[in-house]
Amino acid sequence: MRILVTGAKGFIGKNLIAELRNKKYDVIFEHDRDTDPSLLDEFCKEADFVFHLAGVNRPKEQSEFMEGNFGFTSDLLGSLKKHNNTCPVMISSSIQAELNNPYGESKKAGEDLLLSYGEETGAKVLVYRFPNVFGKWCRPNYNSAVATFCYNVAHDLPINVNNPSVVMNLIYIDDVINELINALEGKENKVDLFCEVAVIHTITLGEIVDLINSFKKCREDRSVPNMSDAFVKKLYSTYLSYLPEDKFSYDLKMNVDQRGSFTEFIKTPDRGQVSVNISKPGITKGNHWHHTKNEKFLVVSGKGVIRFRKIDSDVVLEYFVSGDKMEVVDIPTGYTHNIENLGDSDMVTIMWANEPFDPEKPDTYYLEVNYE
């Protein structure tokens, strides 16, 4: 299939083309404002499907709205008619097509032109009125508040919110692309005259800003956002895409002594804590038990033994572990336990606990596993 994408270098266009390539669509005609104008006619002659994503939303003169959003659409459809090409055509419009402003009027004019073209030629036409789209590769300080907020917070720049109570309707770029791929395959989500992305997120500007600021703080307190919330997950992925290229990494506090080190990696309020424990050769760590706190140990490098004893028993259990054969060992409550490095090199253990460490309520009680 030969696919024409106008606005190929724009936010939606770049994401769409990346996914089309992932899905092995090899013949993609990419058209943008710097493309040789003569190529549009050639592309329209050959195309089997058209994604018309080109448009103008921040012109120097208001007249450019109509020129870009109506005029170019007219040129595109005229070229398709010239070659009697009645392939499906999708157009990217906006919810502002319902509003009485120059941008909205130009978008509405482009919609009407395409709908008339469909009636005249019998071609399948798909009109999408997108609300605010957010995600990776969106240009900050242009036409997306989310992109601007993410960029500024990630770069330690101030952000201005005149009215934090303003309600935003947003769609995520991956949801947009999934819908466009469905449209390409004839499975578009059509409601009456228009097509739409099924997943829309409604949230205030103030809540968005609070979330983005919390993402930055995650590095300081070693936390991760609530990934069970679909919008939070998408917004966090978006935020990370705006990190400065020299700021992808961040330091962790290593608690180091003669035995090795212990470093907290991730803390969550509802999914526990992940830490990295490094033990020197011959070193034993632990010798404590918990009432409610439980853990999972995974040795990823080196070899050792994890020992258990129920606190009211004299029977010692041993589990030999090694990075050569990874296995998770559960640490049940009511058993005192330790871990000993039996190798000649450092032993590295990933440790998960069902709750973040609370120094006020450590739920940790010293008791030797082996006793005389």
Tokens of 174: 């991956």
Which whole-number Å values give the CA distances from 251 to 215, 222, 267, 346, in the listed order?
A: 16, 10, 15, 21
Q: For the sheet containing 260-268, what is the strand order?
A: 254-257, 260-268, 272-279, 347-353, 295-301, 328-331
Choosing from 25, 103, 239, 365, the catalytic residue is 103
In this structure, the number of other CB atoms found within 10 A of the CB of residue 276 comes to 16
Residue with tokens 């039996």: 342
pLDDT at position 70 is 65
Give the DSSP H or E segment for 64.
helix 63-66
Intervals of the chain under pLDDT 70: 56-70, 102-103, 372
Q: Which of 19, 183, 23, 18 is nearest to 92 (CA)?
A: 183
Q: Please name every residue paired with 261 in a beta bridge, in sequence order, or none if there are none.
A: 256, 278
CB neighbour burial string for 45-58, b if at least 16 within 10 angstroms, e if fewer: eebebbbbbbbbbe
Topology agreement, domain 2-211 and domain 254-366: no
| Contact status, residue 175 vs residue 197, Cβ threshold 8 Å | yes
Q: Which amino acid is at 113?
A: L
CATH of region 2-211 = 3.40.50.720
The helix/strand/coil state of 281 is coil
- CA separation for the pair 271, 356 (Å, rounded): 9
The domain segmentation of the chain, as residue ranges, is 2-211, 254-366
pLDDT at position 99 is 75
- CA separation for the pair 107, 96 (Å, rounded): 8
Tokens of 232: 């939070």
Where does residue 207 rank: exposed (0-12), middle (13-18), buried (19+ CB within 10 A)? middle
Q: Which of 247, 256, 328, 336 is nearest to 288 (CA)?
A: 336
- CA separation for the pair 12, 28 (Å, rounded): 15
Q: What are phi and psi of 58, to 5 degrees?
A: -135, 65
The CA R_g of the chain, rounded to the nearest whole Å, is 29
Residue 135: partners with Cβ closer than 8 Å, 6 or more residues away: 11, 15, 172, 173, 174, 176, 234, 237, 238, 241
Find the Cα–Cα–Cα–Cα dihedral 106, 108, 113, 114, rounded to 10°.
Answer: 120
Residue 239: partners with Cβ closer than 8 Å, 6 or more residues away: 150, 153, 154, 212, 215
- CA separation for the pair 156, 372 (Å, rounded): 58
* CATH topology for the 254-366 domain: Jelly Rolls (2.60.120)
pLDDT at position 63 is 52
pLDDT tens digits, one per residue of 224-235: 999 999 999 999
pLDDT at position 283 is 98
Query: Residue 319 catalytic?
Result: no
| Contact status, residue 232 vs residue 211, Cβ threshold 8 Å | yes
